[in-house]
Amino acid sequence: MSEKYSKLQKQFLCCYPVKKMAWSSVKLPLNWEEQQELIEATCGHPMNLRYPVRRSYLEAFLKQLMQLLKDQEDLHDDIYSSLCARMAESPGTSYAYKHYLLTPDAHITLRESKSFVSEGTTGLCTWEAALALGDYLLHHRDLIRGKNIVELGAGTGLLGILFKLPALKLDVGEVLLTDGSEPCVQLMRENIALNFPDAPKEQIPQAEQLSWNEVSEFPWESRKEVDVLLAADVIYDDTQFTALLGALDFFIKRRGDALETYVASTVRNMDTLNKFMTQLELRGYKVTPCGNISASASHFCRDHTAAVQIVLIRR
Ligand SMILES: C[S@@+](CC[C@H](N)C(=O)[O-])C[C@H]1O[C@@H](n2cnc3c(N)ncnc32)[C@H](O)[C@@H]1O
């Protein structure tokens, strides 16, 4: 496949907002072969054929493409047939797939809910903060090399899957993804199996149910000491602050200064974030802001409209 539509392909497969896609890479008019190439790079991509993106996204993408090609005499049959094929399907389940192409030989496929909130949790789809934290740690690999990692509120499991991709050679230690929501843990396990179909258990992330107010009851003695604690997009509900801070206290008490905690938060409500940061400082934690990875250096196609704040928390 040519590189001509690689940006559009990457964006399409992870459902990047249609209006913001790299349409300028499409040089009009497109002859028949070029149209075919574009379709094969996107809707006709083998990953999408096997694990399709959500139907509403595909429709929006094809409509935008038709609009772009509206002055052309010949529209490739595959554009119509891709649209009609999906329109004819039943709406299907409330889940669909996203594919993150990271390097030529590393990608992640995630099954996600089509809704931001479902089954009583916000964790069945991947949030911007997880992508931003993944980007940050990919650019600062030494922070996780050889480290045993635990993630709190891990949702779909993106970060743990990322760290264990063999092609990225991140050489992390044990990775435990946790979430308080049972449907999230089931989904994480499904996503782990999807991305590591044949790998032995020691080489893949593990997923377990863990509520923040029950961390002390978890069988930690059967696990390696935690070096790095992660959490993405978990600071939005101040009724959960006490439980989250209690969980942090628990890990710090076990590991002391050796523990590094990275928390990434999409900045929606600055007051809520500040309230959490103040509580951290009152408990004697040192909070250091970490830089963000720019859109051009990002491994993920992120819609950088929402700011994400990443901080390192230490005793
Ligand atoms: C907005 S989602 C973020 C998911 C994922 N980290 C991401 O960024 O895509 C928040 C996650 O925190 C989990 N969560 C919220 N309160 C929790 C608690 N008290 N104990 C454990 N997990 C909790 C939710 O189930 C959900 O998966």
**Residue 60 pLDDT > 90:** yes
**Residue 89 pLDDT > 70:** no
Q: Give the model confidence (pLDDT) of 145-168 as tens digits.
A: 999 999 999 999 999 999 999 999
- What pLDDT, on a 0 to 100 scale, did the predictor assign at position 93? 78
Which residue type is seen at 45? H
- Taking alpha carbons only, the member of 93, 161, 150 closest to residue 126 is 161
- What pLDDT, on a 0 to 100 scale, did the predictor assign at position 78? 81
Ligand 1 pocket check for 127: Cβ under 6 Å: yes
High-pLDDT (> 90) share of the chain, %:
83
Instruction: Give the mean pLDDT of 233-256.
Output: 96
Q: How far does the centroid of ligand 1 lie from the alpha carbon of residue 211, in Å?
A: 9
CATH architecture of 96-314: 3-Layer(aba) Sandwich (3.40)
CA atoms within 13 A on the CB side of 303: 16
Ligand 1 atom closest to Cα of residue 181? 25
Instruction: Give the mean pLDDT of 297-301.
Output: 91
Distance CA 33, CA 111 (A): 32
Ligand 1 pocket check for 191: Cβ under 6 Å: no
- For the chain, the average pLDDT equals 93
- What pLDDT, on a 0 to 100 scale, did the predictor assign at position 119? 82
- What pLDDT, on a 0 to 100 scale, did the predictor assign at position 306? 82
Interhelix angle 241-255/270-282, nearest 10 degrees: 40
Distance CA 155, CA 125 (A): 7
- Which residue lies with its CA nearest to atom 27 of ligand 1? 123
Instruction: Give the mean pLDDT of 116-135.
Output: 91
**Whether pTM exceeds 0.85:** yes
Residue 4 neighbours by CB distance under 10 Å = 15
Q: How far does the centroid of ligand 1 lie from the alpha carbon of residue 215, in Å?
A: 14
Instruction: Give the mean pLDDT of 158-180.
Output: 98
- What pLDDT, on a 0 to 100 scale, did the predictor assign at position 271? 96
Distance CA 119, CA 244 (A): 21
- 1 — pLDDT class (breaks 50, 70, 90): low
- What pLDDT, on a 0 to 100 scale, did the predictor assign at position 77? 84
Q: 171 vs 101, 133, 263, CA distance in Å?
A: 20, 17, 21
| Domain range list for the chain | 6-92, 96-314
Beta-ladder partners of 176: 150, 206
Q: Give the model confidence (pLDDT) of 243-252 as tens digits.
A: 999 999 999 9
- Taking alpha carbons only, the member of 198, 182, 297, 278 closest to residue 235 is 278
**Residue 101 pLDDT > 80:** yes
Q: Give the model confidence (pLDDT) of 266-291 as tens digits.
A: 999 999 999 999 999 999 999 999 98
- What pLDDT, on a 0 to 100 scale, did the predictor assign at position 214? 98
